[in-house]
């Protein structure tokens, strides 16, 4: 059977197998992220093709064996074990927790390798996310937007600010009345969407972690303030917002505006729940759009980074 492999049980509860699996079969049934809909696109986002090709040439084409196992997880519980072999359902799907480059290398070799695999069985999506984050969180190959998207599933008890930030970004992208409705790439897989969760969430986390201002408010007020600031930015340049090509419609500019929210709240001098988009627009309308072109920023500051954008905005709106 194509879906039956030699294996041994490493752990009974929860069940973990050590199995030998054929590379091409595994590649067809694996995804680098449960949150990315297209496995091929997910691998392309999370691995370096040059490195995968090098692995294929150095290991697979030489018919060598990888010395370490790939770590997999599946939500399937319809898995049987007998006669030292494990049998999976025909349409089983595996999350590649670790070993993405080694598995993707199979795509670039005609030799079908036998992969040693540690397989976690019957996990929920949050459990798979927790394992994935634990192993991959500090590795550059994982898009930051995807790590933030997984925060809502893992819900780290020691980082409530990250949970709140990820939930706020999700609402900014998901609420129809939000200026950013369906305009945020939540997982880092959509190259055509300029605004990434991984850009907004860190700045929002800083805001909600403050002991005063927005940090002292509840979720609904925090979300309304964020919607209002982005509504004010949209009002300043509606054409640029609509096309997604204006000088204001850039992740770096959005991050700079988020960094200036505490200063605007202080000057508006109202309770956060009473601050409107009009209140923010009274400051944002002072911005000269041409001053935010990369050329002008480099002329004034020597670069076009977030700090340069923030200082340019600060000089104009305060």
Rounded Cα distance between 147 and 139, Å, is 10
Task: Report the mean per-residue pLDDT for the chain.
Answer: 89
Local confidence band at 48 (pLDDT 50, 70, 90 cut-offs): confident
pLDDT of residue 25: 94
Q: pTM score > 0.95 for this model? A: no
Segment 174-201, tens digit of pLDDT: 999 999 999 999 888 788 899 999 999 9
Residue 215 has pLDDT above 70, yes or no: yes
Q: What is the mean pLDDT of residues 119-138?
A: 82
Residue 140 has pLDDT above 60, yes or no: no
pLDDT of residue 139: 56
Between 211 and 172, name the one with better pLDDT.
Answer: 172
Residue 17 has pLDDT above 90, yes or no: yes
Residue 142 has pLDDT above 70, yes or no: no
Closest C-alpha among 91, 244, 93 to residue 182: 244
pLDDT of residue 30: 92
């Amino acid at each position: 059977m194509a879906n039956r492999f030699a294996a041994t049980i490493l752990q009974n509860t929860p069940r973990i197998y050590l199995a030998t699996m054929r590379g091409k079969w595994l590649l067809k049934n694996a995804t680098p992220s449960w949150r990315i809909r297209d496995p091929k696109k997910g691998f392309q986002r999370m691995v370096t093709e040059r490195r995968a090709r090098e692995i294929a040439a150095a290991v697979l084409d030489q018919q060598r064996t990888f010395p370490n196992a790939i770590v997999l997880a599946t939500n399937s519980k319809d898995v049987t074990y007998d006669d030292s072999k494990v049998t999976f359902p025909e349409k089983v799907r595996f999350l590649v927790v670790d070993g993405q480059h080694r598995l993707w290398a199979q795509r670039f070799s005609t030799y079908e390798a036998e992969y040693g695999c540690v397989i976690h069985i019957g996990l929920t999506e949050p459990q798979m996310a927790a394992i994935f984050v634990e192993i991959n969180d500090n590795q550059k190959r994982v898009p930051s937007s995807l790590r933030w998207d997984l925060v809502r599933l893992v819900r780290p008890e020691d980082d409530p600010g990250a949970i709140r930030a990820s939930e706020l970004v999700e609402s900014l992208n998901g609420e129809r009345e939000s200026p950013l409705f369906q305009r945020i790439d939540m997982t880092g897989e959509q190259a055509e969407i300029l605004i990434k969760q991984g850009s907004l969430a860190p700045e929002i986390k800083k805001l909600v972690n403050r002991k005063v201002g927005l940090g002292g408010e509840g979720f609904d007020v925090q979300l309304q303030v964020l919607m209002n600031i982005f509504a004010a930015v949209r009002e300043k340049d509606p054409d640029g917002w609509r096309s997604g090509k204006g000088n204001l419609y850039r992740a770096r500019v959005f991050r700079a505006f988020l960094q200036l929210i505490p200063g605007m709240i202080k000057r508006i001098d109202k309770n956060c729940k009473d601050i409107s988009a009009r209140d923010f627009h009274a400051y944002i309308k002072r911005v000269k759009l041409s001053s935010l072109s990369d050329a002008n920023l480099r002329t004034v500051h020597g670069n076009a980074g977030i700090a340069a954008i923030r200082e340019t905005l600060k000089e104009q709106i305060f």
